[in-house]
Structures are given as structure tokens and as C-alpha cells.
Amino acid sequence: MNITDLKVHAYSARYGVPIANGKYTYASTDIVIASVYTDEGLTGHGWSHGTKIIIDTLESLKDRIIGEDPFNVERIWDKMYLPKVYGRKGFETRAISAVDIALWDIQGKAAGRPLRQLLGGFRDETPAYIAGGYYEADKGLAGLQQEMKSYAAKGAKAVKMKIGGASIAEDIERIDAVREAVGNSVEILVDANNAYNRLDALKMGRALDKRNIYWFEEPLSPDDLEGCAELRRRIDTPIAVGENEYTRWGFKQLLDAEVAQVFNADAQVLGGITEWKKVADLAMASHVLIAPHGDQEIHAHLVAAAPNGLIVEYYDNNTNALKEKMFGSHLKLNADGMVSPPNAPGIGVEINFEAMEPFKTYPIG
């Protein structure tokens, strides 16, 4: 089997109301899809979230992968990863991620096996949390509570909310309001998205220690490894980091610095599934758990395949304006708050390109 073509499509859909976390505001969902075609009629799809940089990089990668066997993911990855040409981190690596994910989708379809089995098949279902709790205009405490109650009603046994976009006192009030809304049987995760300095992260961490919080995600800048390691030593709430880290080498630095108990390694960011597996294995050797940031359609398979897989991030429609259009079928939480990856070959979800057409931004015409 050989690769015959790579086609790139991009889509954008605006939110009804912009959403914000501790540091960033988002007005739209932007997705770039890499579709890899083969001479045996199999097509794989991979996607990432981002900008025109991903589109341009994917177009330049086309000649590097055509003619290759899609099963040779290590060789193809090596041909795509060219730091002097594309840089070592950033949106270009996200482009590599999209191609690599498409290759694994092809492999699963060729083997007639779901992705989780190709990667090891450790479990058939995984715990999940619903991610939300963004700052929105006029949302207020009542709106936040209603949102989190709706997640619990869908079966969620864990929910995540944003912090760092308000004062520590206000965010503590928000956390307490969520606890009141969901009760003690639902875990609460908090995510600062790099918003804090070291002093404020410690203040918030000590407040979280009193509230039985599942984890404290991205408390500091992703480059402040020393500060994060110190924070880990000084609070009891587990630290989770890594959604902004790239490649096995980046995660090796996180491991060496002992910054966190949990890695949010994102296959759509760090270099694809081929690289994600290396990161998961490195983490397992150091007794670090894996709980990926990113789309559940991909990461439910990866957590199910990894012995050190902890929990899957599950995005409801309020954090992805394209989700209802993009997929013909959707992963659902069961009554126990678990997600089962599809049993269909490959990733197991097909992209509805026809429904996405009104949101298409590339190619034009």
C-alpha cells in the first residue's frame, strides 16, 4: 500500500458568545483536516486546531509522504520532522500531528481493528470528565452552576472549570459554587491555562488543598519548569501539565524536572499518535499518569490503550462550534461517566464533509 495524495481542508465556526479561560479568549472553533489517500482505496483523516500555518505546512509536506507506505509511521515522521525547516515546536508540529493521526486511521482500517487495539488494547472504556466552566459575558455563578449541573445530568462523574481569569477570591467562590451544584460525588478539576505567577499559584494551590480538587492544571507558564516543580512540592493537589508541550524531548524535560503527576499530552499537538505513544511510555516508566488534552474522538482510543491512562477530556458542544456538524456519530458518556472508543476500524468516526461545507475556509473554490 502506498500514499497517493494528501488533501487539506480547513473550517471555522464562530461561537454565539466568545469563551475565555484564565489567559485566552476564543471567538471561534478552527479545525484543519489532513486526508491521506492510498492506492488501495483507503483514506485516513487526521485533524488539529489552529491557523493558516498548519495549512501551509501540510501543503509543503505532501511531496514528503507521497509514495510512502502508511504503515511506516516512524520513517514518515522522521521525514516530516525537520527542525531547521519548520521549527521544533508550534503549529508546524501540529501539522505533522494531523498527518500522523491520518496514517494510524489508515492502519486501523487496513487491519479491520480499532485504533486502541493497534496501540495495545489495555481497556475497553475509560473514565471521562466534561470540560467547560469558561468565563462568558453575563454567565455569573448561577449560570456556571447550571452548566455544571447539566454535565452531571449527562452522567459526568468529573467536571473541569476554568480559573485564573478573575481574582483568587472570586475564583474560590466560583469553585465553591460548582461544588454546591454537583455535590461531593462528582470530581472537580480546575485549569488555569498558564495564568498565574508563582506567588498566586501557591495561594490558589493552598486553597485547592482545602477543597478536595482532582487536579490543578497548567498553573504557571509552560516554560517555568522550576516554578512548577516547586509548586508540586508545596501543595497536595496533583499538578497536570503538558497540553502546550511538543515531542518526546519536550516531555523528557518535564519528567526530569518532576513538574507534575499527570501529563495532558495532546496527540493533535505534540507530533501525532506515533510521538504520543513514546511520551506515554516515558511517563509510565516514571510513574506519571496520562490524561490527554484534546478531542475525545482520538484520545479515548489512546487512554484506552495506555496502562497509565487516567481519564479522557470530553468536550460538549459549547466548546466546539463544529462538533455537531463534523461527525456523523458521537461518543457519549454512559451512566457511570465512562467513554467507550468506537469498535469500528481506525479512529472509528467518519467526518461529514458535506455538513461542514458552509464553514469551509480552505481550499476556496
pLDDT at 329 over 90: no
pLDDT at residue 94 in the model: 97
pLDDT at 163 over 80: yes
The percent of residues above 90 in pLDDT, for the chain, comes to 94
Q: Which cell numbers in the block locate residue 94?
A: 501540529
Report the predicted TM-score, pTM, of the whole model to 2 decimal places: 0.97
Q: Hey, CA dihedral for 233, 89, 47, 106, is it positive or negative?
A: negative
pLDDT value of residue 196: 98
Q: If pLDDT is split at 50, 70 and 90, which confidence band does 362 have?
A: very high
Grid-cell match 503527576, residue found: 261
Band (316; pLDDT cuts 50, 70, 90): confident
Average pLDDT over all residues of the chain: 96
Beta-carbon contacts of residue 338 (< 8 Å; ≥ 6 apart):
125, 126, 127, 128
pLDDT value, residue 64: 96
| Dihedral angle, C-alpha 21, 56, 295, 188, nearest 10 ° | -20
| Least confident segment among 23-37, 115-129, 311-325, 331-345 | 311-325
Name all domains of the chain by residue range, CATH numbers in brackets: 3-112+357-362 (3.30.390.10), 117-339 (3.20.20.120)
* Beta strands 158-162; 126-131: pairing state: parallel
Instruction: Band the pLDDT of 328: cuts 50, 70, 90.
Output: confident
The mean pLDDT of 296-305, rounded to a whole number, is 98
pLDDT of residue 54: 97
Sign of the Cα pseudo-torsion (45, 360, 25, 133, in order): negative
pLDDT computed for residue 68 by the predictor: 98
pLDDT-based confidence at 148, cuts 50/70/90? very high
